[in-house]
Amino acid sequence: MLSAKQIRSGFIDFFRNKGHEFVPSSPIVPIGDETLLFANAGMNQFKDIFVGLTPPEYRRVVNSQKCLRVSGKHNDLEEVGKDTYHHTFFEMLGNWSFDDYFKAEAIEWAWELLTEVWGIDPDRLWATVFQGDAEDSSPPDSDAKSLWPKVTGIPDERVLFGGKKDNFWEMGDIGPCGPCSEIHIDLGAEMCDMKETKGHKCAVNSGCSRFIELWNLVFIQYNRTEDGRLVDLGAKYVDTGAGLERIAAVLQKKKSNYDTDLFIPITDCLSDITGHKYTSELNNRIDNAFRVISDHIRSLTFAMTDGATPSNEGRGYVIRRLLRRASRFGRELGMHEPFMYKLVPIVVDCLGDAFVEIKARSDYVAMVIESEEASFGRTLDRGIEIFNTAAERAGAGERTISGEDAFQLYDTYGFPLDLTELMAKERNLKVDTAKFDKLMEEQRKRARAAFVKDSISISDKVSVTVLPKTEDLHKYRSDQCDGQIVGWVDNEGFKNEGRIEAGVEVGLILDKTCFYAEAGGQVGDCGRLESDNGRFVVENTAKIANCVIHRGRVAEGVFSVSDKVKAIVSKDRDATKKNHTATHLLQWALQEVLGKSVAQQGSLVGPDYLRFDFTYPKAPSARQLKKIEHKVREKIAADLPVTCVVMPKDQAQKLGAMALFGEKYGNEVRVVAIGAEGKDRLGEAFSREFCGGTHVDRIGSIGGFKIIKEESISAGVRRITALTGSGLAGFLEQRSEIIDELSETLKVPAEKLADRVEQLIKDNKKLAKELKSAARQAGSDIMAEAKRLLEKCEKIGQTSVIIGRLSATSVEQARETIDMLKKKAKSAAVVLGFADNDKVTLLAGMTNDLVKRGLKAGVLVKAIAPLIDGGGGGRPQMAQAGGKNPEKIDDALAKAAQLIKEKLANR
């Protein structure tokens, strides 16, 4: 029996022998594609090739792509656990042809691998081809229909026509598309899960689990235009995908993907942790929980490894939903403490040889998962109680949990909506999602920060393929260069004719530039473009594909296409260079002090400061931060050289150059080496990183380094903000002024400030302690006065009427005194007064039985406050008044006694 490892390597080796180049999986968190939350298909990393943005490096490619389907069009989340073959995370085995071979070879090789190499009985296999679509004039795939029997020998009756839903692939409403052929396998009549469904007949794409898709062969041969027409592409592509989990189940003769060696080690470990056994049964609460948790821990391990972190937005929220969903299923197995993090090493054992990145970050992933589990666990049980109450209300009514209840579960207890829906479904209840969505939108409106919309955007109607290429290597050599305007972009798209006048905001495009476009955490350059006819202020620089866009406005004059201009970068560039090189020094120092497990999670490099995010399980100590600063400053003082070299990626990796995790690199990379004099001595450098940013020539020019802030930004991720150069000089100057002011105020020299402040703190603590002691004594005295008033108070029936004057005290103490009197007397009407210099305070308190009889503290103080030249009010149980005539306190208290007695006598 082939293991999953052997199946994966066998697939890759088979296509390597057919002339394919192996390309590693792209990260599950897409790089540079904000249209996609997670990689959900093998073609994602080749998208730019399909749309014509970049030429292919290889004509034939094979790989195994990490995929996550939990949102949008491709969302298998709700099905996970209920059947044997749906997953959120899966591996997509695939082979590609970029304008090389086409349908005949793709069909022939897929059949050869399945039947001859892997030995699947060809009589169990079926194929589907596109039948055409009259609505959009898509023709049937007659080529594939005739090729299947011709090149494989499959009987014509087992090659079926299918509709657009199953047999036509499109990237979007417009763009590359084409028909596809699916290979299905008949698993046998016993695998049908719809036997009880009236009128059901087992067949390919009939909805039952007897026939399942094994492999999809996509033939990209058309381009969908804006008016919906299909036009033949100049190049033709093959894009195939086969799920490793399903292939493994077939080849290992298992009825369920969860019974293969991709999952069994996880379910075995989960069994050891929980004490429950996995029995592979469907419609079984315990087994369902096993499948959900086993699936979700794989998704969490890979997504967090590739840079996703739990949060309340975007990708982070999807990850948090998965984790909390799995945590709730853990309750089905009796787990009330964090447990999923213990499964991470098992996932690594299963898949770490194929995807080495999960080995390197397993400790970090386990730590984040444990932290999230503990956080959610603190609210989960209370949330379940709230859900149960809501469910009882719903069960007694319209069998729908209200949107308000669902929102409370989300907002207060961290329950994702789909978790509430899942729990409701288990009780045959629905959730009012429309009301929930409305409440969510109201919250977003309240929380939404003001933002300034980018005044320059690329029109959605214009393909980025029309944007010209910019030669921008001058950014590494000079702050000035000559160029020529080739066009600009505005809200209508790209233009390469006409002119722009003063005040107009656009994105100018030159044939060559020395401006650095925002990338890799470094901000885009600012500056100006000057010509004989005008001046253009560059406020930011961006890059789309290979086109550099200088965003800004015409300050004076006019600009036209073909104008010659001088590009001049702002002097801020020097400060940005210093900060960027300092981030490399900081990463080196962090690994030296905190350990090699520290990995960059992101950065922001601008002229004013640098910010560096990194993985670490806890806050570094003050001593560690000082040591990090010291190491960076030592290197700066040594004034070592910085060498930047472009080289093949594999050569850079052999040198030990660090890559930013999850970043997309080509075959050639730029390496920034610190401490090496010249490209022939890169091995001497103490810091080597892949980097396309701008840097100083020697690190002595950085001038200094200071960490001004260290904080947590998410579980397991820390952030350091630091200053160098002129930013540091300004910071130190400001601090110096503060020290001068303190020295003047405290009348001590600067070098003795620390001792003086320490003494002041000690003195303050001593005084606070003495004041607290005095307050306690005063409070005791006041309480004693109040008890004496209680002892000699008048009683009307069971009610104590406690009226009296106290020594000067605080309002808080007087309120505590009234509470004490009410508690002791059971039924009491209390009015107390005291004076503090010219200020008078009256407080009244009533027990609840008197409030029900109409005696209210708020009404009473309003009646007596004018006697002390004041006013007041409050609740029926407790009220307060203030005035400025201490001589009338006794009169006010006497009036209070009179009103209380009258009220009680009338009841």
Count CB-CB contacts under 10 A for residue 582. Answer: 29
C-alpha span between 721 and 34 (Å, rounded): 26
Whether residue 454 has pLDDT greater than 60: no
Q: What is the pLDDT of residue 495?
A: 87
Tens digits of residue pLDDT in 360-391: 889 889 988 998 888 888 777 777 788 888 88
C-alpha span between 624 and 617 (Å, rounded): 14
Whether residue 396 has pLDDT greater than 80: no
Q: 329: closest CA among 365, 278, 363, 397?
A: 278
Q: Which residues pair with 60 in a beta bridge?
A: 97
* pLDDT over 90 percentage in the chain: 55
Q: 431: closest CA among 440, 418, 441?
A: 418
3-state SS, 73-86, equals: CEECHHHCCCCCCC
Average pLDDT over residues 269-298: 93
What is the enclosing helix (H) or strand (E) of 821? helix 811-825
Tens digits of residue pLDDT in 851-860: 988 899 999 9
Distances (CA, A) of 504 to 451, 535, 537, 542, 553: 21, 12, 11, 18, 5
Using left for φ > 0, alpha for ψ between -120 and 50, and beta otherwise, residue 201 falls in: beta
C-alpha span between 485 and 474 (Å, rounded): 16
pLDDT band at 832 (very low <50, low <70, confident <90, very high): very high
In this structure, are residues 687 and 675 in contact, taking their beta carbons and an 8 Å threshold? yes
Average pLDDT over residues 560-570: 94
Average pLDDT over residues 268-282: 94
Least confidently predicted of 237-246, 364-373, 402-411, 831-840? 402-411
Q: What is the pLDDT of residue 74?
A: 57
Q: What is the pLDDT of residue 372?
A: 87
Q: What is the pLDDT of residue 883?
A: 92
Maximum average pLDDT range among 27-31, 346-350, 425-429: 346-350
Q: What is the pLDDT of residue 445?
A: 61
For 229, list phi and psi in degrees, rounded to 5. Answer: -75, 155
Average pLDDT over residues 399-410: 84
| DSSP 8-state class, residue 519 | B
| DSSP 8-state class, residue 52 | T
Q: What is the CA radius of gyration of the chain?
A: 37
Distances (CA, A) of 436 to 131, 405, 575: 42, 9, 48
| DSSP 8-state class, residue 695 | -
Mean pLDDT of the chain: 88
Distances (CA, A) of 32 to 29, 607, 694, 805: 10, 24, 20, 75
Residues 6+ apart with CB under 8 A from 661: 306, 307, 357, 361, 599, 600, 601
Question: 362-396 vs 403-413: helix axis angle to the nearest 10?
Answer: 150
Residues 6+ apart with CB under 8 A from 478: 514
- Residue found under tokens 């897929």: 110
Chain centre distance of CA 797: 66
Tens digits of residue pLDDT in 476-511: 989 999 999 999 988 778 888 888 988 888 999 999
What is the enclosing helix (H) or strand (E) of 647? strand 642-648
C-alpha span between 208 and 221 (Å, rounded): 31
Q: 217: closest CA among 203, 192, 236?
A: 236
Q: What is the pLDDT of residue 35?
A: 65
Count CB-CB contacts under 10 A for residue 211. Answer: 19
Q: What is the DSSP string of 456-502?
A: ----TTS-GGGSPP-B-GGGGT-SEEEEEEEEEEETTEEE-SSEEET
Residues 6+ apart with CB under 8 A from 700: 636, 637, 638, 639, 640
Q: What is the pLDDT of residue 449?
A: 34
What does the CA dihedral 520, 526, 527, 532 come to, rounded to 10 degrees?
Answer: 90
Tens digits of residue pLDDT in 782-828: 888 889 999 889 998 889 999 999 888 888 888 999 999 999 999 99
Residues 6+ apart with CB under 8 A from 520: 603, 660, 663, 691, 692, 693
Distances (CA, A) of 425 to 334, 388, 523, 595, 712: 21, 13, 48, 48, 38
CA 843, 844, 846 angle in degrees (round to 5)?
155
Tens digits of residue pLDDT in 722-770: 999 999 999 999 999 999 999 999 999 999 999 999 999 999 999 988 8
Residues 6+ apart with CB under 8 A from 735: none
Ranges of H-type helices in 749-794: 753-791
Q: What is the pLDDT of residue 663?
A: 65
Amino acid at position 430, single letter: K
In this structure, are residues 632 and 592 in contact, taking their beta carbons and an 8 Å threshold? no
Q: What is the pLDDT of residue 94?
A: 95
Whether residue 566 has pLDDT greater than 60: yes
pLDDT band at 464 (very low <50, low <70, confident <90, very high): low
Q: What is the pLDDT of residue 452?
A: 28
Q: What is the pLDDT of residue 451?
A: 28
C-alpha span between 603 and 131 (Å, rounded): 51
Q: What is the pLDDT of residue 457?
A: 44
Maximum average pLDDT range among 450-454, 609-613, 823-827: 609-613
- Residue found under tokens 């505590």: 816
For 138, list phi and psi in degrees, rounded to 5. Answer: -80, 125
Q: What is the pLDDT of residue 73?
A: 58
Q: What is the pLDDT of residue 400?
A: 87
Average pLDDT over residues 873-883: 91
Q: What is the pLDDT of residue 859?
A: 92
For 332, list phi and psi in degrees, rounded to 5. Answer: -60, -25
In this structure, are residues 676 and 591 in contact, taking their beta carbons and an 8 Å threshold? no
* pLDDT over 70 percentage in the chain: 95
pLDDT band at 170 (very low <50, low <70, confident <90, very high): confident
C-alpha span between 218 and 229 (Å, rounded): 19
In this prediction the pTM is 0.68
Q: What is the pLDDT of residue 456?
A: 40
Answer with the residue of higher pLDDT: 398 or 329.
Answer: 329
Distances (CA, A) of 426 to 87, 250, 294, 814: 20, 31, 20, 54
Answer with the residue of higher pLDDT: 449 or 254.
Answer: 254
Collapsing DSSP states into helix, strand and coil, what is residue 855?
coil
C-alpha span between 40 and 541 (Å, rounded): 31
C-alpha span between 491 and 341 (Å, rounded): 48
Whether residue 338 has pLDDT greater than 50: yes
In this structure, are residues 84 and 191 in contact, taking their beta carbons and an 8 Å threshold? no
Ranges of H-type helices in 115-242: 142-152, 164-167
Collapsing DSSP states into helix, strand and coil, what is residue 509?
strand
C-alpha span between 469 and 471 (Å, rounded): 7
Q: What is the pLDDT of residue 688?
A: 92
Q: Are strands 828-836 and 799-805 parallel, antiparallel or unpaired?
A: parallel
Q: What is the pLDDT of residue 189?
A: 80
Q: What is the DSSP string of 530-562?
A: E-SSEEEEEEEEEEETTEEEEEEEEEEEEEETT
What does the CA dihedral 893, 895, 900, 903 come to, rounded to 10 degrees?
Answer: -170
Count CB-CB contacts under 10 A for residue 428. Answer: 8
